[in-house]
Amino acid sequence: MIKPRSLPRPRKVNKVPFVELYAGRLQGVVSSKSDIKRVYVSYFEAGTGNFYCSTNNNRPCGGLRGSPCKHLQELLKEALLQFSAERIVNYMGLELDPAKVKGHYELLRAFKGGPHKVEAGMVFSRFLTYLNYVSLPATTAPIPEMTWFVR
Ligand SMILES: [Zn+2]
């Protein structure tokens, strides 16, 4: 049985509602501080260390000026909490000793890439699918989409 990690503090789901390691990226969705209706889609790419941040409507983030914006930093903080430094370092192929990672700044410095645009929809559609499952009413009946969880 897989035991969930005990987290040093609860995840800030209202700030960073979605974070995942997927398709060679650390990616997720970060809420805007000034506009509750706006979200940012942010990612770091494994290997290249490239990153990007834009709104879910593909508007580039104003804070992204050659270096990771505050959304990318928030994403990294929450990823560190959710996945642990070891998993992130391994997945992203960072040249870093996970035992020496004290906070997200060490991870941030290890990403050597630059801003590189990807379509926000690629990440955002995964977030919507995830939301869909989260909002399903709790039930003990089988959910057809979940049949790949073989017993
Ligand atoms: Zn941003």
Ligand 1 centre from 60 Cα, in Å?
8
Q: Is 38 inside any structural domain?
A: yes
Predicted local distance difference test score (pLDDT) of residue 73: 97
Q: Is 125 inside any structural domain?
A: yes
pLDDT band at residue 33 using 50, 70 and 90 as cut-offs: confident
Ligand 1 centre from 45 Cα, in Å?
15
Predicted local distance difference test score (pLDDT) of residue 8: 76
Q: What is the pLDDT of residues 119-146, one digit of tens each?
A: 889 899 999 988 887 777 777 776 666 6
Q: Is 54 inside any structural domain?
A: yes
Q: Is 127 inside any structural domain?
A: yes
Q: Residue range 57-76: average pLDDT?
A: 93
Query: Given a cut of 80, is residue 40 above it in pLDDT?
Result: yes
Q: Is 11 inside any structural domain?
A: no
Q: Residue range 34-50: average pLDDT?
A: 93
Ligand 1 centre from 120 Cα, in Å?
12
Total domain count, the chain? 1
The per-residue b/e assignment along 14-44, b for 16 or more CB within 10 angstroms, e otherwise, is eebbbbbbeeebbbbbbbeeeeeeebbbbbb
Residue 66's domain spans which residues?
A: 18-134
Q: Is 117 inside any structural domain?
A: yes
- Amino acid sitting at position 110: A
Q: Is 141 inside any structural domain?
A: no
